[in-house]
Amino acid sequence: MTHLLHIDASIRSGESVTRQLTAEFVTQWRQNHSDAGYTYRDLGAEPIPHITHEVREWLFDPSGDLHGVTPEEQALTEALTAEIREATTIVLGIPMYNYTIPSSVKAWIDRLVVPAHMMLPGAESGALSGKNVVVVTARGGSYAPGTPRDGWDYQEPYLKAVLGSIGLGDNLKFVHAELTFAAIVPAMAQLKPLGEKSLADARETLRKLAL
């Protein structure tokens, strides 16, 4: 069954650009897939606890002893695993914080990068392969080639690597809304038209990806 997993991670609420964009994508996608399932998880409002040594030991050896892992930790990890496995399309709203991803997203990823999901060397597919993944980001500045901060983007390269390592790189798309601070930071006012264009381009790209 076609199923959409929708993840938001911004610590902001209604003014969050990533939340606005993922909501628009989800609305369009669900209109185009009226019989599909849908799951929502808000990592910004309800962050997942970072893994402990005990949790990591259990994640890498789930058939053995729980190694001190609580039933609540076990249930949470099993729920996250079920959500990712059930999804046929995944949309991730991930703002850039300090040139990389929010720690809440890292905590979510750490529950999923386990031996059962890892792509083996030379393998063409794995347990999570074949899903459509759309990563929606918002950046206060620009990290495009030729800009002053070209090369400072530690968000997309990391996500490409880690999602690819668990089979989620087959149909992985990034949609960036850059220069979002131009609308609110006076010193960046001259960049506001570029920020507006980036946001409009992101909306148009997401509309096409929602088909």
Give the rounded percent of residues in the chain with a pLDDT score beyond 90: 87
Higher-confidence residue of 120 and 89: namely 89
| Mean of per-residue pLDDT scores for the chain | 95
- Looking at residue 65, what is its pLDDT? 67
Q: Which parts are annotated binding residues for FMN?
A: 10
Contact call for residues 2 and 111 (beta carbons, < 8 A): no
| Strands across the sheet containing 89-95 | 37-42, 3-8, 89-95, 132-138, 171-177
Q: Which residue from 37, 119, 113 is spatially nearest to 77, judged by alpha carbons?
A: 113
pLDDT digits (tens, 9 = 90+) for 137-148: 999 999 999 999
Q: Which residue from 12, 7, 18 is spatially nearest to 199, judged by alpha carbons?
A: 18
Domain boundaries, the chain: 3-210
CATH of domain 3-210: 3.40.50.360
User: Of 59-68, 112-121, 122-131, 144-153, which gets the smallest average pLDDT?
Assistant: 59-68
Q: Which parts are annotated binding residues?
A: 10
User: What's this model's pTM, rounded to 2 decimal places?
Assistant: 0.95
- Looking at residue 121, what is its pLDDT? 86
Give the rounded percent of residues in the chain with a pLDDT score beyond 70: 98
